[in-house]
Amino acid sequence: MNEERGAPLLEVMDGIAARHGTNLAAISLAWLLHQKVVTSVILGLKRIDQLEENLKAAEVELSGDDLAALNAASALAPEYPGWMMASGEGPRRSLMETGRMPTAQWGPE
């Protein structure tokens, strides 16, 4: 595990778990269940107490602020070419919408 990247996320999760009166496992699973791309969650456990902890996720209702904090803390740094494409998004969108390049960024027409 990348502890440097994981520590801020665990700190955010700890705060959310404390506010909801639950544990990190429940927050992790509840967060997964809020992701549009996740259709199911498979629990990995060996003991009944782990099952009980994981099932608490069904009772957790994460707020918009909770989700935003979790998403921000877990966001990956953009990779090439995504960061490069995003940096030119404004001029391309302007060209598509108006048919002309914005003069402020690209000089005179």
What pLDDT, in 10s, does the model give residues 11-25?
Answer: 999 999 999 999 999
pLDDT at 104 > cutoff 60: no
pLDDT at 59 > cutoff 80: yes
Q: Which among 6, 48, 45 has a CA at the least distance from the CA of 14?
A: 6
b/e for 32-65, b at 16 or more Cβ within 10 A?
eeeeeeeeeeeeeeeeeeeeebbebbeebebeee
Residue pair 26/34 in contact by the 8 Å Cβ criterion: no
Query: Rounded to whole angstroms, how far apart are CA atoms 27 and 25?
Result: 5
